[in-house]
Amino acid sequence: SSESTEESEESESEDEDYTDSDITLICETVMKCTAGDSNTMRQFTLECLGSGVVDSGCTSSVAGKKWFEHYEKFVKQEGDGRKIREEELSGKRFKYGKGKPVKSVGTYTIPITLQGRDRKMRIDVVEEDHPLLMSKKMMGRAGFVHVYRTDTLKYEDGEIIESFRSSGGHTCIHI
């Protein structure tokens, strides 16, 4: 089950402290990539358009708004009948490294294709600028095995999943 936190009716102060139990996900991928550099983040998002970043530190899949808007246009242009479905807002908050938590602005089910296998993935979208970060839970459901020694992704049946490395060294797969 997801560790989502519902949004509070009370307003949150700027300096409110959060504990790990208040946050849906603590994600190091984005923080390690950018170290606060918006140009680096923009490049990371551009490199990963139409792809997802393998992020075993994510407990819930999440994408930045710019990445999502591009993917939404791509799905519509494909014209193959696949659709993105908007869900109820999850109320999840996401924390990147030591930054302040950010709230989900939308929850969606998106169609993806992994090596010819059509699937659906539920994601949250945040205002932050970053590509799709695929959660450990999603990768487990899809039957991924990540061999860290060789940085190889496989399905449980042994089929290799084609992947690439971003310029920042992150493992990514086309979806």
pLDDT digits (tens, 9 = 90+) for 71-91: 999 999 887 888 999 998 888
**34 pLDDT band (50/70/90 cuts)?**
very low
pLDDT one-digit tens code per residue, 121-133: 999 999 988 999 9
Q: Which class for 61: exposed (0-12), middle (13-18), buried (19 or more C-beta within 10 A)? A: buried
Q: Nearest Cα to 114, choosing from 69, 154, 161?
A: 161
Indicate if the pLDDT at residue 65 is higher than 80: yes
Strand residues in 57-158 grouped as ranges (E): 62-64, 85-86, 93-96, 102-103, 106-114, 117-126, 132-134, 144-147, 152-155
Give the mean pLDDT of 82-101. Answer: 88
- The predicted pLDDT at position 37 comes to 58
Share of the chain above pLDDT 70, in %: 78
- The predicted pLDDT at position 120 comes to 93
Q: Tell me the whole-structure pTM to 2 decimals.
A: 0.76
- The predicted pLDDT at position 104 comes to 94
- Listed as own residue / partner, the contacts of 136-144 with beta carbons closer than 8 Å and 24 or more positions apart are 136/55, 136/56, 136/57, 136/58, 136/59, 137/59, 137/60, 137/61, 138/61, 139/54, 139/56, 142/114, 144/54
